[in-house]
A and B are shown apart, each in its own frame.
Chain A
């Protein structure tokens, strides 16, 4: 059997999908036929014939594809239409027209459900991050935060599509069609953000009004975005008054909404400064450590300078606090040693010393030290000196370590981080997995739709990776369309499930450029520790597996074959 030919099952699956896609249009046509009939059941009798055929067809094809619920309702509608046809032209059957209207509405809801649910297996489209065996991910699940978004909109169709796309990005989405249900839900469980429509059946600005009410009642600002068909001054003003940060008009692009949601939820929690204290006197080190921890910093103490390099690699401090006079080596010598390594050239080093001699202090500065603090320290001064320098280092570093487009770690940093993670894993005796991920046919995307569209794809992928993986995992951009991911404390089986789910969800995102829409996929290769114990080995093995995935047709994940 030629493997490039779709199998019968695949063909049928595609036909099923087409059927569902065409449902809304067919039902709309049926709706029009019904309107004609309602207006004049006598003159427009032929509309009944059309309706009958439509229902009969929906029933038949519905059963063929296994949509029994839909087919059953269509069958009832067909019978009812038959009743109408059996009567003389001027007569209508009992229950006319409400029964027919009701049946069409039932068909419409059923169609929505089908559009909304998994087209392949009738599973709900919750894009799961943690649908895997709890036991395998265990600890990790507590680290990730699934952000909860409430969408309040009375229009079902567009919104179900939107919810699905947002779920692909890792948001948990709940949908409400009335403001009352929304109000109750907010009280029960507060979402991280809200997408609110403006107009509801009960009023032109009922949505934003409800939002304003909630802000008043709970007293807290609920991050909110408006998504509305209205684009007029009154609507926009009501949004401003309700405290909404952004205003989108329908139809909205899910990608833009996701970006706005990120901003509105002020994503990154502040990470405490990481300070390494090297001092041979433990009580002194402890004292300084306490002062800094009081100020919210993360401190690691080292009493033996000989371990400084491995500690630097694992702990990755923002700043090092060095005691100048130590038995093994002086602070000066130690900082010179640290500066031998290129990656630590700009690492802030601050001396702690009881040396009050300005001359000696000055020569210490020659080695490239950020500052000099005399013991005994004044706590506020210590904190200020450290914080200032650590912050400066962070902004500098962020320019140096992150890719400017996606905000992911750049190549060099990713490599460093992977080395660090590997030594940590060896020490803690945990497994980890390396994933090399590459967008499929990305050059074609750029050539066909332009680089702006290409950037959209890169951003979407980065977003998905950052949101769906844990904060602890390392996600980096290696090159144009190549990404390197390190998953900590997972087995290969778990990793492949995770990445495959991401692959699936990413493939369903609709990108748009001008008036064209397109999809994109990626391939990935996975290798793991302890099968490989060195970073280059891990990378090479993952790369090989990635190459295999591409070779086998792309849009798939391959595990390194040593496993």
Chain B
């Protein structure tokens, strides 16, 4: 399955992409919301979006709202460097909200599976 990964930090983006690949999916990378949008339009097979909160122009939550407004119902996982609870409270529609930490390569796959199973 194709997965859209949005993060303006190329290294962080690559790391998430590596985890996604390890799970057997194909990552598609974007550095900001507009690029993410482009990728979504160009690749209708994308089945999941993983986005960092802190991206330029519009942040992760705004990006999420934007695509919901456009009628896109894809599951959306938000990654944040801050307290994930705060983000959750700000936007309850998120499929999941994870804190960026060292064990991302262990915690992310589990969460992705939960989110996809819940679909």
Closest to B56 in A: A53
**CB 8 Å contact bits of A450-477 with B (1 = contact, 0 = none):** 0000000000000000000000000000
Q: Is A336 an interface residue (CB 8 A)?
A: no
If the complex has contacts A18-B11, A56-B54, are A63 and B100 also in contact, measured as CB distance less than 8 A?
yes
Q: Which residues of chain A are within 8 angstroms of B54 by Cβ–Cβ distance?
A: 53, 56-57, 60
Whether a CB of chain B sits under 8 angstroms from the CB of A550 is no
In angstroms, how far is the closest chain B Cβ from the Cβ of A513?
A: 30
Residues from chain B with a CB closer than 8 A to the CB of A56 are 54, 81
Contact, CB under 8 Å: B18 / A8:
yes
B98 to chain A, nearest CB (A): 11
Residues of A close to B105: CB separation below 8 A = 8, 12
Which size class do A's interface residues fall under? Answer: 10 to 19
CB distance from A516 to the nearest CB of B (A): 25
Question: For the complex, is A64 an interface residue (Cβ under 8 Å from B)?
Answer: yes
Q: Which of B9, B14, B19, B79 contacts A57 (CB 8 A)?
A: B9
**A residues near B102, Cβ cutoff 8 Å:** 63-66, 68
The residue in chain B whose Cβ has the minimal distance to the Cβ of A63 is: B101
For the complex, what is the distance from the CA of A302 to the CA of B9, rounded to whole Å? 76
Interface positions, chain A 45-72, Cβ under 8 Å from B, are 53, 56-57, 59-61, 63-66, 68
Chain A residues near B104 (CB, 8 Å)? 64
Q: Kindly identify, within residues 1 to 41 of chain A, every residue whose CB is under 8 Å from any CB belonging to chain B.
A: 8, 11-12, 15, 18-19, 22
B81 touches A12 (CB 8 A): no
Instruction: Let me know if B22 is at the binding interface, CB within 8 A.
Output: yes
Is B1 an interface residue, CB under 8 A from the partner?
A: no
Bound together, the chains give a CA A19 to CA B102 distance in angstroms of 14
Contact A60 B11 (CB under 8 A): no
User: Which residues of B lie under 8 Å from residue A12 when comparing CB positions?
Assistant: 15, 18, 105
Q: A8-B18, A8-B22, A12-B105 are in contact. Are A64 and B12 (CB under 8 A)?
A: yes
Partner of B81 from the list A59, A66, A68 (CB cut-off 8 Å) is: A59
Q: Is the interface of A mostly helix, strand, loop or mixed?
A: helix
Residues of A within 8 A of B19 (CB): 8
B81's closest neighbor in chain A, by CB? Answer: A60
List chain B residues, Cβ under 8 A from A61.
9, 11-12, 100
Taking CB as reference atom, which chain A residue is nearest B102? A66
The listed residue (B9, B22, B56) touching A60 by CB distance below 8 A is B9
Which of B15, B54, B80 counts the most chain A CB atoms within 10 A?
B15
Inter-chain CA distance A336–B80, complex, in Å, is 87
- The complex places the Cα of A57 from the Cα of B56 at a distance, in Å, of 11
Partner of A64 from B8, B22, B56, B101 at Cβ < 8 Å = B101
B residues 56-91 touching A (CB-CB < 8 Å): 56, 79-81
- Give 1 or 0 for each of A306-340: 1 = CB within 8 Å of chain B CB: 00000000000000000000000000000000000
Interface centre among A11, A22, A57, A60 (most CB of B within 10 A): A60
Minimum CB–CB distance for B85 against chain A, Å: 16
Q: What A residues does B101 contact at CB under 8 A?
A: 63-64
Partner of B52, one of A8, A60, A63, A65: A60
A64 contacts which chain B residues (CB < 8 A)? 12, 15, 100-102, 104
CB distance from B32 to the nearest CB of A (A): 12
Q: How many Å lie between the Cα of A306 and that of B96 in the bound state?
A: 88
- B81 — which chain A residues lie within 8 A by C-beta? 56-57, 59-60, 63
Q: Mark B9-25, 1 if CB is under 8 A from A, else 0.
A: 10110110011011000
Across-interface contacts of B99 in A (CB, < 8 A): 63
Residues of chain A with a CB closer than 8 A to B12's CB: 57, 60-61, 64
C-alpha gap A65/B22 in the complex (Å) = 17
Measured CB to CB, the closest approach of chain A to B6, in angstroms, equals 13
- Rounded to whole angstroms, the CA-CA distance of A411 and B14 in the bound complex is 49
A65 to B105, CA, bound (A): 10
Q: How far is the CA of A19 from the CA of B15 in the complex (A)?
A: 11
Indicate if the CB atoms of A11 and B18 lie closer than 8 Å.
Answer: yes
Would you give the shortest CB distance from A121 to chain B, in whole angstroms?
Answer: 14
| CB contact list, B17-49 vs A, under 8 A | 18-19, 21-22
Query: Chain B's nearest CB lies how many Å from the CB of A480?
Result: 40
**5 extra interface residue pairs, beta carbon distance < 8 Å, beyond A12-B15, A61-B11, A61-B12:** A8-B22, A56-B81, A60-B79, A60-B80, A64-B101
Smallest CB-CB A-B distances: 4 pairs: A60-B81, A66-B102, A11-B18, A8-B22
6 CB contacts below 8 A, A to B, read A56-B81, A57-B8, A59-B81, A61-B9, A61-B100, A65-B15
